[in-house]
């Protein structure tokens, strides 16, 4: 039997006086279109009272004094964290960091970092940034950020420490492979404008387009990259690399798919409320509507990357190659709060044009190719070509470029197989044309 309100401590009564009206407001009648979707109109008074009692017990008995605001903020975090892995309560720093990452512009030093064996590690320095100019290298271990050891920091906490106002200095203590003593590097933060799209020619007529994440301007960058690749001659084939792409902005994914489709559905979403149901279709203004296409995916391809791969697969626009994707098919809305903080809340699910749900299923490739390295048996003679012979005809620059590309294709077996498939498709197309 629950105690009467008069028997509760003062703090609990005050908290109930706030929570009960707020809960009543939250359960106010919904618009007519959404009323049928409300699971229950019963007010969980007992649970709200239990929450207030827990709050009171912590305030009174916890070993250290805790601020009311911290307790309530942690309660809100818990509410969202228990829903699914992608819903979250964002404090002001996290909210601003999310906004910056989608815009692709922030104050920092220009390094991509990750955790390797529990240690903050440089994945790669971004070109033409303070980090690359200072000589930071992939696999450098970051031991300290200014005077803060990194072994107790989460990845997000470390990123937040390295970001800051342009013009301010930051000191990194790093340990480089093969060196016994740590190095100390002082960098000056700048505005970092990340580029989510990289492109190059693998061979004459065969292009490579790498999309590392989906930011606000990614669609524009893809269209510009295709025009650059076609500057000297029409493309015979294109590899769209979405491996290890964690996703990002939905509209950017639609724009990228639209660069290869001139009609048809790209993606649609379904949720409980009418405004969460959306449909996106391709327009006729298309950068590469007819270029043979291979799309590379793997277990790190998620969310917006899966939208693009699923649309191109369902529309029979390209061959999806690699391994099964991650399977994040849920839609998150970012909802700002009045105090500068925000919510990231899952409100809908993605579906491919054929009605396939991506959530927890992922995209299965048309051609499965496991990532690996192509090795030529030592002494077989198969790894020696005319271009490897000393003094052969041809420019030094051409020789170096071919060697570098050949080595890259040996290192990246999936990319090499994608190029081979494009060549085969091109041969078949020419024969059909004859």
What positions carry a catalytic annotation? 303, 314, 328
Taking the C-alpha atoms of residue 365 and residue 305, their distance in angstroms, rounded to an integer, is 13
CA distance 120 to 126: 17
Angle at 284 between CA 218 and CA 230, to 5 degrees: 60
Q: How many CB atoms lie within 10 A of CB 324?
A: 15
What's the maximum distance between 2 C-alpha atoms anywhere in the chain? 97
List % helix, strand, coil for the chain (3-state, nearest 5).
Answer: 35, 25, 40
Q: Of 281, 217, 211, 195, which Cα lies nearest the Cα of 246? A: 211
Torsion from C-alpha of 217, 221, 222, 223, nearest 10 degrees? 110
Residue partners of 308: CB distance under 8 A and separation at least 6: 211, 240, 242, 253, 256, 257, 295
For the CA atoms of 289, 294, 298, 301, the dihedral, rounded to the nearest 10 degrees, stands at -10
User: How far is Cα 38 from Cα 55, in angstroms, rounded to an integer?
Assistant: 28
Q: Is 137 helix (H, G, I), strand (E, B) or coil?
A: coil
Rounded distance between C-alpha atoms, residue 124 and residue 406, angstroms = 22
Here the tokens at position 95 are 């909210």
What are the tokens at 265?
């559905």
């Amino acid at each position: 039997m629950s105690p009467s309100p008069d028997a509760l401590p003062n703090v609990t009564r005050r908290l109930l006086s706030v929570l009960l009206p707020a809960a009543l407001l939250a359960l106010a009648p919904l618009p007519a279109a959404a009323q049928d979707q409300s699971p229950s109109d019963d007010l969980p008074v007992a649970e709200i009272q239990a929450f207030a009692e827990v709050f009171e017990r912590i305030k009174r008995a916890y070993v250290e004094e805790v601020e009311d605001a911290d307790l309530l903020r942690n309660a809100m975090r818990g509410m969202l964290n228990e829903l699914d892995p992608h819903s979250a309560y964002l404090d002001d720093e996290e909210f601003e960091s999310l906004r910056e990452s989608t815009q692709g512009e922030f104050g920092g030093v220009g390094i991509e970092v990750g955790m390797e064996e529990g240690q903050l590690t440089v994945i790669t320095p971004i070109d033409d940034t303070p980090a690359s100019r200072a000589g930071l290298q992939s696999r450098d271990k970051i031991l300290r950020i200014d005077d803060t050891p990194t072994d107790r920091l989460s990845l997000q906490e470390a990123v937040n420490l390295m970001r800051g106002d342009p013009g301010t200095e930051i000191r990194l203590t790093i340990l480089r492979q093969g060196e016994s003593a740590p190095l100390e590097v002082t960098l000056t933060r700048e505005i970092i404008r990340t580029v989510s799209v990289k492109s190059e020619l693998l061979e004459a007529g065969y292009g490579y387009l790498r999309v590392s994440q989906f930011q606000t301007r990614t669609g524009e960058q893809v269209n510009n990259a295709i025009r650059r690749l076609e500057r000297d001659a029409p493309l015979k084939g294109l590899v769209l690399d979405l491996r290890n792409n964690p996703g990002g902005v939905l509209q950017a994914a639609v724009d990228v798919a639209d660069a290869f489709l001139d009609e048809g559905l790209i993606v649609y979403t379904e949720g409980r409320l009418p405004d969460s149901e959306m449909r996106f279709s391709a327009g006729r203004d298309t950068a590469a509507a007819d270029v043979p296409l291979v799309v590379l995916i793997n277990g790190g391809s998620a969310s917006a990357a899966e939208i693009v791969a699923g649309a191109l697969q369902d529309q029979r626009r390209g061959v999806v190659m690699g391994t099964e994707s991650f399977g994040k098919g849920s839609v998150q809305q970012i909802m700002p709060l009045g105090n500068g903080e925000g919510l990231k809340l899952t409100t809908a699910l993605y579906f491919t044009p054929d009605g396939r749900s991506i959530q927890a299923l992922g995209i299965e490739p048309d051609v499965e190719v496991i990532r690996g390295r192509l090795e030529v048996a030592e002494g077989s003679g198969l790894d020696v070509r005319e271009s490897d012979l000393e003094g052969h005809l041809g420019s030094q620059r051409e020789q170096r470029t071919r060697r570098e590309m050949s080595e890259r294709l040996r290192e990246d077996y999936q990319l090499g197989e994608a190029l081979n498939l494009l060549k085969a498709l091109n041969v078949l197309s020419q024969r059909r044309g004859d």
